[in-house]
């Protein structure tokens, strides 16, 4: 993500540009900060999109038949993904498809990262805080500190994080 030139290597400049784009996308009201207003606007936008997907006949209501059809389509997609994983020899270690990495909490990993970005604790993330957090994540993955993150560095970081998660007490 963020590899603008598509060469498989993410530079610090590309990471910074991607963070700028992501911040602009998340800043729903364009006020230069991420706060509860932006989260509420994004949630409302997602709910409206979901309603549009479910309301197949576009009558402004979701019938039981539309609901059941959507559930059947989701189940079929889930089964298809599972079959593809099995063919590829992959496992998803017993996690539900829609909840991977989230440990059952809405907002999951992304919200946790945003919380860490709020360095002054005011429940608002400025663009500077967002950039600082994004570049800190980049720097933590850039093992050899050459200003580039390779596929090997991403893989090593991912494996280290998995190992770290495996060492956490069950209460977390």
**Pairwise pLDDT comparison (50 vs 102), residue with the higher score:** 50
Domain count, the chain: 2
Residue 130 in domain: yes
Angle subtended by helix axes 12-26 and 127-141, to nearest 10: 140
Residue 109's pLDDT band, with cuts at 50, 70 and 90, is very low
* Residues 52 and 136 grouped into a single domain: no
Contacts of 16 (CB under 8 A, 6+ apart): 131, 134, 135
Same domain as 82, residue 66? yes
Question: What are the distances in angstroms from CA 55 to CA 49, 51, 65, 73, 76?
Answer: 10, 6, 10, 14, 19
Together in a domain, 119 and 158 = yes
Read off the pLDDT of residues 121-171 as tens digits, 9 standing for 90 and up. 888 999 999 999 999 999 999 999 999 999 999 999 999 999 988 876 655
Confidence of residue 91 (pLDDT cuts 50, 70, 90): low
Residues 111 and 159 grouped into a single domain: yes
Q: For residues 9 and 53, state if they share a domain.
A: no
**pLDDT at 94 exceeding the cut of 70:** no
Give the CATH number, domain containing residue 172.
1.10.238
Q: Is the same domain home to 80 and 156?
A: no
- Same domain, yes or no, for 24 and 105? yes
Are residues 119 and 135 in contact, defined by beta-carbon separation less than 8 angstroms? no
Encode pLDDT of 66-89 as tens digits: 999 999 999 999 999 999 988 888
40 and 68 both lie in a single domain: yes
**pLDDT computed for residue 95 by the predictor:** 47
For 125, list phi and psi in degrees, rounded to 5: -110, 115
Domain hosting 22: range is 1-34+101-172
Residues 24 and 108 in one domain: yes
**pLDDT at position 5:** 87
In degrees and rounded to multiples of 5, residue 70 shows phi and psi of -60, -45
Mean pLDDT of 109-122: 72
Examine residue 119 and state whether it is found in any structural domain, yes or no.
yes
Dihedral (Cα; 22, 24, 29, 30), 10-degree rounding: 160
Under 8 Å between Cβ of 130 and 117 = yes
Report pTM.
0.64
């Amino acid at each position: 993500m963020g590899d603008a030139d598509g060469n498989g290597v993410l530079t610090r400049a590309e990471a910074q540009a991607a963070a700028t784009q992501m911040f602009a996308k998340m800043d729903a009201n364009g006020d230069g900060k991420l706060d509860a207003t932006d989260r509420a606007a994004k949630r409302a936008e997602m709910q409206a999109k979901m309603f549009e997907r479910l309301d197949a006949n576009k009558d402004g209501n979701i019938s039981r038949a539309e609901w059941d059809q959507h559930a059947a389509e989701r189940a079929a997609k889930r089964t298809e993904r599972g079959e593809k994983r099995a063919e590829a020899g992959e496992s998803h270690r017993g996690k539900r498809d829609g909840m991977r990495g989230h440990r059952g909490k809405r907002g999951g990993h992304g919200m946790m990262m945003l919380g860490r970005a709020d360095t002054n604790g005011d429940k608002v993330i400025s663009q500077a805080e967002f950039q600082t957090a994004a570049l800190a994540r980049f720097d933590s993955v850039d093992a050899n500190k050459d200003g580039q993150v390779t596929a090997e560095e991403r893989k090593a970081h991912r494996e280290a994080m998995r190992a770290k998660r495996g060492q956490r007490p069950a209460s977390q």
